[in-house]
């Protein structure tokens, strides 16, 4: 659980670093979509966020996550937590 | 025979004889100019307000001929039996197109001729598209209308560019949700953001590409590479190239471009 919290904090940190001032200091909840209905990222922003997370965690690739469809903040945290 | 009937006949013939079909379309376009088909003069005046009425009417007829030839080309491309469905092409120096490159296209003139160029490029050529017939040398990837499909296509395009490939993407596509402001013909316009975001993320230059008709050949032209930079500056440079191209070859304007560029304002 501690690992997941740490991973969530890092995933959130990447978001804040990528778009300074655009999002509040509180981390989104797990169910929040990264997309237009949640965080409000467009398709290009979503991919840039995923790439930034891959770089921050030095992998793994998020291709399968993206292919599976809508991605929430929790999906992203779980993806890198499981790596 | 009605204009629609003529068009259907041309389309049937095009798959087997693309040059003949394009030639016939040219003749039909000339013969049917009195019908005042083609892009309306009001729409043309939005691009070229300095043209006198008689010249606008002449241009309208030329857009009609361009449109008929485009339909003949599209029919040839859709033919399952056509191994090389293009009419005579005049291509730029392909050795100048070194990957990775983002090729930025438009709904202009004989746009399928651009595919004829793409098929001759070395390495992977990914075509991000909304519709169109598959071609053997090209990887056609539907962009889709869903945000996650679009994101998947964008991710795939990044991968192609990072492995020294080419990505072709239309930039006059106002149906996409993510656009950039630019100026063309003295007006504010919006260009689809994808090409410019790809260039920024991957460091690949953007090369504008379009085609026009000259003496029965489809001439494909490319602009100078636009170095990866701020997305807005790249969009501005692309819009400037587009305006120069259209001023040189205004007959390439068709209804799809008018719709893509000006939206519902015709």
Q: What is the 3-state secondary structure (H, E, C) of B127-166?
A: EEECCCCCCCCCEEEECCCCHHHHHHHHHHHHHHHHCCCE
Q: Within an 8 Å CB–CB cutoff, is residue B150 touching chain A?
A: yes
The more confidently predicted of residues B36 and B167 is B167
Residue B178 near residue A36 (C-beta atoms within 8 A): no
pLDDT of residue B25: 82
Q: Is residue B106 predicted with pLDDT exceeding 90?
A: yes
pLDDT of residue B265: 47
Q: Is residue B264 predicted with pLDDT exceeding 60?
A: no
CA separation (Å) from B242 to B208, B210, B257? 8, 9, 12
Distance of residue B177 Cα from the nearest chain A Cα, in angstroms? 8
Average pLDDT over residues B43-55: 94
* Residues of chain B neighbouring A69 (CB-CB closer than 8 A): 148
pTM of this structure: 0.90
The secondary structure of chain B as a DSSP string is --HHHHHHHHHHHHTT-HHHHHHHHHHHHHHTGGG--SS-HHHHHHH-TTS-HHHHHHHHHHHHHHHHHHHHHHHHHH-TT-SS----EE---GGG-PSSEEEEE-S-SSTHHHHHHHTTSSS-EEEEESS----TTSEEEE--SSHHHHHHHHHHHHHHHHTT-EEEEES--TTSS-EEEEEETTEEEEEESHHHHHHHHH-PPEEEEEEEEETTEEEEEEPPPB-S--HHHHHHHHHHHHHHHHHH-GGG--HHHHHHHHTT--
Average pLDDT over residues B256-261: 84
Residue B86 near residue B75 (C-beta atoms within 8 A): no
pLDDT tens column, B163-174 = 999 999 999 976
Q: Within an 8 Å CB–CB cutoff, is residue B154 touching chain A?
A: yes
pLDDT tens column, B205-219 = 999 999 999 988 999
C-alpha span between B47 and B55 (Å, rounded): 13
Question: From B201, which residue of chain A is nearest by alpha-carbon distance?
Answer: A48
Measuring CA to CA, which residue among B169, B172, B176, B182 is closest to residue B232?
B182
C-alpha span between A77 and A48 (Å, rounded): 16
pLDDT of residue B26: 83
Confidence grade of residue B266 (pLDDT, cut at 50, 70, 90): very low
Confidence grade of residue A58 (pLDDT, cut at 50, 70, 90): very high
* Residues of chain A neighbouring B151 (CB-CB closer than 8 A): 43-44, 46-47, 66
Contact at CB, A43 and B197, closer than 8 angstroms: no
Q: Strands of B217-222's sheet, edge to edge?
A: B89-90, B217-222, B206-214, B101-105, B166-170, B125-129, B139-142
* Residues of chain A neighbouring B179 (CB-CB closer than 8 A): none
pLDDT tens column, B139-154 = 999 888 889 999 999 9
The more confidently predicted of residues B237 and B81 is B237
* Residues of chain A neighbouring B150 (CB-CB closer than 8 A): 43
- Whole-number mean pLDDT of chain B? 88
How far apart are the two ends of chain B, measured CA to CA in Å? 28
For residue A30, what is the DSSP state? T
Q: Within an 8 Å CB–CB cutoff, is residue A30 touching chain B?
A: no
The more confidently predicted of residues B95 and B82 is B95
- Whole-number mean pLDDT of chain A? 93
How are beta strands B206-214 and B179-184 bridged, if at all? Answer: unpaired
Question: From B150, which residue of chain A is nearest by alpha-carbon distance?
Answer: A43
Residue B220 near residue B211 (C-beta atoms within 8 A): yes
Contact at CB, B178 and A46, closer than 8 angstroms: no
Distance of residue B154 Cα from the nearest chain A Cα, in angstroms? 7
- Alpha carbon B82 to its chain centroid, in Å, reads 21
Contact at CB, A66 and B197, closer than 8 angstroms: no
ipTM metric: 0.93
Measuring CA to CA, which residue among B183, B220, B184 is closest to residue B103?
B220
């Amino acid at each position: 659980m501690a690992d997941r919290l740490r991973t969530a904090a890092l995933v959130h940190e990447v978001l804040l670093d990528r778009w300074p001032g655009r999002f509040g200091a509180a981390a989104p909840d797990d169910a929040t979509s990264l997309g237009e209905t949640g965080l409000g990222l467009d398709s290009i922003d979503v991919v840039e966020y995923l790439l930034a997370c891959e770089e921050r965690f030095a992998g793994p690739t998020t291709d399968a996550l993206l292919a599976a469809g809508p991605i929430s903040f929790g999906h992203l945290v779980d993806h890198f937590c499981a790596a | 025979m009605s204009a629609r009937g003529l068009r259907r006949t041309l389309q049937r013939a095009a798959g087997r004889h693309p040059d003949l079909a394009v030639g016939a379309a040219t003749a039909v376009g000339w013969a049917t100019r009195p019908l005042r088909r083609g892009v309306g003069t009001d729409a043309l005046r939005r691009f070229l307000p300095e043209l006198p009425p008689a010249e606008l009417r002449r241009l309208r007829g030329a857009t009609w001929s361009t449109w008929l030839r485009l339909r003949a080309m599209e029919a040839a491309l859709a033919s399952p039996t056509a191994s090389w469905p293009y009419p005579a092409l005049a291509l730029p120096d392909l050795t100048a197109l070194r990957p990775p490159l983002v090729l930025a296209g438009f709904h202009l003139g004989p746009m399928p001729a651009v595919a004829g160029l793409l098929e001759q490029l070395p390495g992977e050529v990914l075509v991000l598209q909304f519709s169109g017939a598959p071609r053997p040398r090209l990887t056609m990837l539907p962009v889709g209308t869903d945000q996650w499909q679009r994101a998947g296509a964008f991710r795939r395009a990044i991968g192609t560019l990072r492995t020294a490939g080419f990505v072709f993407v239309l930039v006059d596509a106002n149906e996409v949700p993510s656009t950039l402001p630019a100026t063309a013909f003295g007006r504010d316009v919006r260009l689809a953001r994808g090409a410019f975001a790809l260039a920024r993320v991957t460091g690949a230059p953007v090369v504008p590409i379009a085609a026009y008709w000259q003496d029965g050949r489809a001439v494909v032209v490319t602009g100078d590479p636009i170095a990866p930079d701020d997305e807005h500056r790249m969009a501005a440079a692309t819009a400037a190239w587009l305006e120069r191209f259209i001023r040189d070859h205004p007959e390439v304007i068709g209804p799809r471009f008018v719709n893509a560029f000006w939206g519902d304002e015709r």
